[in-house]
Structure 1
Amino acid sequence: MTTDTATNAGETTPETPVNVSNQDELSALVDEHDVVLTDFYADWCGPCQMIAPVVEQLAAETDATIAKVDVDANQQLASAYGVRGVPTLVLFANGEQVEEFVGAPSGDQLRSLIESHTA
């Protein structure tokens, strides 16, 4: 579709993380945007809280769309992606899952990963 290519060109990448509550919402983001970094997190998780500002900064400063999934509220969605520990970060590029991190990678690691999938 021609409208998708315009969106994929990055003209409407959200500058703040998008809260996702089901598979349809995540699928729509992945379909609409070239690069989507999905942060599976829990409010009680210390490392999740540590990387939250990094994830927010990446949303503002990169061409990636950042999705946030609360694993406690969305257990079925987390299970569908095999999330066993939090934080888990899943990167989608051009509609396909291309990377997964369990734990808290550095902001530089995440930025490099995002930039390697945006041209």
Structure 2
Amino acid sequence: MSDIDDERQRIRERKKRELQERLENGDELDTSETDDRSRAPGEPISISGEGHLEEVVVEHDVVLVDCYADWCGPCQMLEPTIEALAAETDAAVAKVDVDAHQRLAQQLGAQGVPTLVLYADGEPVERMVGVQNRGTLEGLIERYS
């Protein structure tokens, strides 16, 4: 099992324990808190490291991860689409700078940029390399939402 899988399992187990404790204590579940947690932010999330990406993937049902580099022309072309998807879809959109996070980019399978990885329910379900059109990405997000 990889470090990412181990971390994912620890986060899931912690959240499960917290929920179980709340239920055993007779605490009412605050659905607005749950809804807020699963609601995707309206702008891309800049990933600060492996643990941060893991938190985002576990917290949201569908996450589109954009592995990019500032010097990459195709990445710059894709940027408006990435921002629109973050603002207009139910998916969380995360950005991984491959220069700043080389190990994480390697774990995500980013051999070229841009590389997009779609997660659904905590698992990677699609990987695409190169500029993708907005319709294709929206369709994938809808399929897994």
Query: Shared fold (TM-score greater than 0.5)?
Result: yes
Deviation >3 Å, runs of 4+ = 7-10
- Who is 2:143 aligned against? 116
- Counterpart check, 1:62 vs 2:89: yes
Matches within 5 A, 1:1-119: 1=16, 2=19, 6-7=34-35, 10=38, 12-118=39-145
Aligned Cα RMSD in Å? 1.7
Give TM-score, length-normalised by structure 1. Answer: 0.91
What is the count of residue pairs matched by the alignment? 116
For residues 23-71 of structure 1, the C-alpha deviation after alignment (integer angstroms, 9 at most, x for no partner) is: 1000000000000000000000000000100000000000000000000
**Alignment gaps of 5+ in structure 1:** none
Larger radius of gyration: 2
Does 1 or 2 have the higher relative contact order (CA < 8 Å, sep 6+)? 1
- Who is 2:12 aligned against? none
Q: Is the 8 A contact 1:8 1:33 kept in 2?
A: no
**Alignment gaps of 5+ in structure 2:** 1-15, 20-28
Please state which structure has a larger fraction of its residues in strand. 1
Please state which structure has a larger fraction of its residues in helix. 2
Q: Is the 8 A contact 2:91 2:141 kept in 1?
A: yes
Q: Is the 8 A contact 1:7 1:32 kept in 2?
A: no
Residues 7, 32 of structure 1: alpha-carbon distance in 2 compared, 3 angstrom cutoff: farther
